Each structure stands twice: as structure tokens, then as C-alpha cells.
Amino acid sequence: MRILLAGHLGQLGRTLMPLLARDHTVEGIDLPAHDITDRAEMLELAARFRPDLILNSAAMTNVDGCARDPGLAYRVNGMGTQNLALAAARVGAEFLQVSTNEVFDGTATEPYHEWGACRPINAYGRSKLAGEWYAQHLLTRFYVVRTAWLYAGEGRNFPHRILELADEHGALSVVTDEVGNPTYVVDLAEAIAKLIKTHAYGIYHLVNDGAASRYEFAQLLLDSSGRGAVSLTPIASNAFQRASTPPAYAPLANTAAAALGIRLRPWQDAVAAFIDAAGYRRRDGDAL
């Protein structure tokens, strides 16, 4: 296939680009050279490249930044997706939109299924739900792929921050009342590569298997990297203020993709792979 990959410089895009290039012809677009909020530019790019699939991994993912500027969040995550969906419609391409568990309100008592009612409680979730809406209403051949708590071997994300703070301070406080699916970008990218070969359009939840609180996630990161002696204090999310309010309990259930034979490994195994790939594992005798 010919794939137009939006957001190829982001943490998911950087992993998808070489993976998809093994089997497909891929052209990546991202800021500053290309802007998905420019509709004319997206239509022109699609007309020139003639993709079979447009894959949108571009997004404004700073959830606190979205809360501070919801207009910008909607322009990028909502209207940017609309522009790419219109471009896909213009050239007859399939479309894949990467979305988030934050389209749910976090009041459930069990993981959310693909068909669950979406009720976002913050600007980020609302803007991503707008993107989902455009994909579903402008196209018939689409995938919506929701994921959660994505992290990679590079960039700014929760595992890197936890391990950096552990080394800097030797003690951490992490919330226990926010639950989701820690998801390793390598596993998500591989699952997406498998999904687009099925042409089984629809909504999918692609996350590493199992759920954890932020505290449990942090504890495993410390233990797996040889930092188990670092003091980790459990706290409630109301102990500090932030611009955005994340859903308290929003793990996703992989039902639809599992029916196609697409499953991601347990999140604990993914953390171990991340620790080794990112070079965070301490050995006996390493300085604390």
C-alpha cells in the first residue's frame, strides 16, 4: 500500500515509519514542514501522493495544554482530523485515526469496550472525540484505534519522568486513583501494522494487556530498572492541582482486535522490554 503518515515525528510516528516501510511505500508529514490544520495543503498532498491509506498519528497530546487552550486542541485534534478525512475521501483512501481512552469519563467499574458510550470530561478527550466523529461520519472505510498511557524509548513520557526523578531525588509520590493501560509504542505500532492488513474497519482498543494505577506503573518501573530502593509514596490525585482532569478509571478492553487475533502482550512484560531498550536497567555496583 501507499501510506500517508501524519505525525511521523511523534513518538508513535517514529516507530511506525520504519515498521510500515518494510511492506509499504510511506510518506511522512509533520510540523514544521506540513500542518494538518491547513485543509488545502492536506488535500494537495493527498492528490499528489495518492495514498491507499492515510494514517493520522498527529495530535496535540499535552492534556494540560489542551485544558489551557481548548480552541487549539479542537483545531488540531478535531479539525486537523477532519482535513485528513476529507483528503482520504477525495482520493478514495482508507483512514486510520489514533485516539485515546480519555474519550471516556472514568466512572466505569470494568474496562471500557469499543462500543461503550463516550463522555469525555476534559478538553483533550473532547477534541479527540471530535476527531473520531469526523472519521466515522465522513468515511466508510475507517479504523479508529484508541490507546492509553503511551510511552516510547525516547521523548517525554511517564516512564522517563519517573526514572529521572528517581535518580534526581531518590523519592517519589505517585497517584493511586488513576487507572489505565500502560502501552508500549513498539507493541502498538506492531498491532496497527497487523490491523491495516485485515481491512476490517471499525473501532479498536489497542493497549498492552492488563490495567494498573499510576502508582503500580511507577513501582514496576523502579523495580524492573534496579531502583526498588527508591521511596515511593502513594497519594490521591487531589493532592496536587493540574489544568486537566484525567478520567479516574479508564482502562480499555481489547475485544474487537482480539477477535481478529491481534493482542498485545501484558503491560508488565512490555515494561521490562522498555527498560532494556532504553538502557535504564541498573546493574550491581551502579551508583544511585
Neighbour count for residue 167 (Cβ, 10 Å): 15
CB 60 within 8 A of CB 76: yes
Neighbour count for residue 55 (Cβ, 10 Å): 30
Q: Name the one residue in this structure whose C-alpha cell is 468515511.
A: 139
Strand 212-213 to strand 179-180: parallel, antiparallel, or no bridges (unpaired)? antiparallel
* 124 is a catalytic site residue: yes
Output the CA angle 82-75-13, nearest 5 degrees: 70
The whole-angstrom separation of Cα 179 and Cα 176 is 8
In the 8-state DSSP scheme, what is residue 149?
S
Identified catalytic residue from 74, 112, 124, 249: 124
Active site residues: 124
